Amino acid sequence: SISMCPDAFGFYGLLFAMFSIVCLGSSVWGHHMFTVGLDVKTAVFFSSVTMIIGVPTGIKVFTWLYMLLNSRVNKS
C-alpha cells in the first residue's frame, strides 16, 4: 500500500503540481515561436514561464519518488 502524508510531497502537493502544470503549460507555447520575431518583453515572458514550470514538475517527480520510497512491493 502507498501511504501519503499531508506535507508538500503528499496528495495535495501532487494535486497542486498537476494543476499548476496544466495552467502554466497552456502559456508556454510562445517559446516555440522564436523565429517569427517576437518582441523582447513577450520572449522574456514565455521564457520565464517555461523555466517556472520546472518547479511543479519537480514537486510531481519527487512526490512519485516519495511514494515509491514509502511503499511495499507485493510479489504475488
Residue 59 contacts residue 9 (beta carbons within 8 Å):
yes
Whether the Cβ atoms of residue 63 and residue 20 lie closer than 8 Å to each other: no
Spatial separation of the C-alpha atoms in residues 65 and 37, rounded to whole Å = 41
pTM across the whole model: 0.71
Listed in sequence order, the residues at least 6 apart from 33 whose beta carbon sits closer than 8 Å to its beta carbon are: 46
Residue range 13-70, pLDDT digits in tens: 889 999 999 999 888 887 777 668 888 898 888 889 989 999 999 999 988 888 888 7
List CB contacts of 75: < 8 A, sequence separation 6 or more: none
